[in-house]
Amino acid sequence: MRIAIVTDAWTPQVNGVVRTLQTIQGELEHMGHAVRVISPDLYGSIPCPTYPEIRLALVRSSVIGQDIAAFRPDAVHLATEGPLCVAARRWCLRSGVPFTTAYHTHFPDYVAQRTGLPAAWFWRYIRWFHGPAQAVLVSTRSVREQLRAHGVANVRPWGRGVDLAAFTPNAPPPDLFADLPRPIMLYVGRVAVEKNLEAFLATDHEGTKVVVGDGPARAALERTYPQARFPGPMFGTELAGAYAGADVFVFPSRTDTFGLVMIEALACGTPVAAYPVTGPIDIVTPETGALSEELGRAIAGALTRDRAACAAYGRSFSWERSAREFLSGLHEIDPEVIESAA
């Protein structure tokens, strides 16, 4: 199968959406499928206001349409709701090319936090963007229910996975952890306002808070919380060691639809503390973490969980299964439609 994936999120960005798409591309190619990723680096772009590492592509729908048609895809998937996918959506609708979409992040809440405008305004955009899709691929049951409640009907499951060769309880912890007061409370991800990191850093709990990652809020948070450690981004074996060496993984976000970092932490044997919101409520079980509207209480509860149970549960998330769910959600295009659109 030839699959065109259009996405506004791609390297050099470091986030769950990019990691998911890169991994799925690799899994699909390993299965024998041909994948063409159409991303902002292929076109002229400008930095996103307040988020300069995110590039906003400037491209006409006819240009991106030519690139899609030249690939002769059997399926088209629009992975994000940004300007590149809007242009591709416009071309698909004009050319009669069916497509699928995905809902990776609580976009209305995310934009509301950045603009101060009501989230309800942005749900209108979500309904508009996803409405014509043959299917909207969504990671968890609670998010699928939320989308249906907001008028996005044609939702289908698409779960996530873990690189089980890399993320194990035996990963060696970083040297940084050697002399830190315990328990070590770890966060991994973007350091940005929508991740609600202040709620974590402001909790009154003995031990050491470690924030792995980078982003526009990092400098301000380092100044405000000098007792916390900010070692910057980690990858591969080093990141796995940070998960495995921590005593609890803290996920303070209220805007994520899944939270890939949670299952990576669990695969390393580290329990999760989070709010009882979409994402965590679908992933964290009573045996593998704790959820509470008081994040400090969630941390205290998670610290009592059995690490072997966490690791066993984390191993149940497979990228191969995720890729097969992705494939089953795609909508195959009549070759004559692509020929006439080219």
Query: Residues near 32 by Cβ (< 8 Å), separated by ≥ 6?
Result: none
Q: Is the pLDDT of residue 118 over 90?
A: no
Return the pLDDT at 49. Answer: 65
Per-residue pLDDT band at 12 (split at 50, 70, 90): confident
**Statement: residue 105 has pLDDT above 90:** no
Query: What does the alpha-carbon distance between residue 72 and residue 215 come to, in Å, rounded to a whole number?
Result: 37
**What per-residue confidence (pLDDT) applies to 11?**
85
Predicted confidence at residue 53, as pLDDT, reads 65
pLDDT band at 14; cut points 50, 70, 90: confident
Alpha helices for 195-253 (secondary structure H):
197-201, 218-224, 236-245
Q: What are phi and psi of 240, to 5 degrees?
A: -60, -40
* Predicted pLDDT at 102: 97
pLDDT in tens, 15-50: 889 999 999 999 999 999 999 999 998 987 777 666
List, in order of start, the domains of the chain with CATH numbers.
2-161+320-341 (3.40.50.2000), 175-317 (3.40.50.2000)
Q: Is the pLDDT score of 115 beyond 70?
A: no
3-class secondary structure, 240? helix
Mean pLDDT for the stretch of residues 171-177: 96
Look at residue 289 and tell me whether its pLDDT is greater than 70: yes
When pLDDT is cut at 50, 70 and 90, the band that residue 342 belongs to is confident
Residue 331 has pLDDT above 90, yes or no: yes
Longest dimension (CA), the chain: 65
| In the predicted structure, residue 213 carries a pLDDT above the cut 80 | yes
Share of the chain above pLDDT 70, in %: 94
pLDDT in tens, 192-211: 988 999 999 999 999 999 99
**How many other CB atoms are there within 10 angstroms of residue 166's CB atom?**
16
Q: Which residue has the higher pLDDT, 184 or 12?
A: 184
Which pLDDT does position 256 carry in this prediction? Answer: 84
At 113, is the pLDDT very low, low, confident or very high (cuts 50, 70, 90)?
low
Average pLDDT of the residues in 304-308 = 98
- Average pLDDT score over residue span 241-246: 98
The dihedral sign for the CA sequence 53, 92, 158, 151: positive
Distance CA 300, CA 88 (A): 47
* pLDDT, the chain, mean: 92
Does the pLDDT value for residue 108 go beyond 90?
A: no
41-95, pLDDT tens digit by residue? Answer: 898 777 766 666 666 778 899 999 999 999 999 999 999 999 999 999 999 999 9
DSSP letter assigned to residue 318:
B
For residue 50, what pLDDT is reported? 61
Question: Residue 273 in contact with residue 302, Cβ under 8 Å?
Answer: yes
Question: Which residues 6+ apart lie within 8 Å of 336 measured at CB?
Answer: none
